[in-house]
Amino acid sequence: MTTSEAPAAAPTASGDDTPATDDRDPAQALTAMVDHVLALAATWTAWDGTPAHVDDRVYTPHKAVRRVADHLVDHLAELEARLVGERPLPDHWHASATTTPADLAPFTQEDLDEARSRLGRLARIWANRLSALTEEQLDHSPGEGWTFRQLAFHLTGSTYYADAVGDLGDLGGTT
* Residues 150-172: tens digit of each pLDDT: 999 999 999 999 999 999 997 55
CB distance 105 to 62 below 8 Å: yes
Residues pairing with 59 in the sheet: 52
* Residues 101-141: tens digit of each pLDDT: 999 999 999 999 999 999 999 999 999 999 999 999 999 99
pLDDT-derived band of residue 92, with 50, 70 and 90 as boundaries?
confident
By C-alpha distance, which of 31, 43, 106 is closest to 68? 31
Single pTM value for the model: 0.88
The full length of the chain comes to 175
Name, in order, each residue with C-beta under 8 angstroms of 151's C-beta and a sequence gap of 6 or more: 19, 75, 78, 79, 141, 145
* Residues 64-89: tens digit of each pLDDT: 999 999 999 999 999 999 999 999 99
Interatomic CA distance for residues 21 and 151, integer angstroms: 9
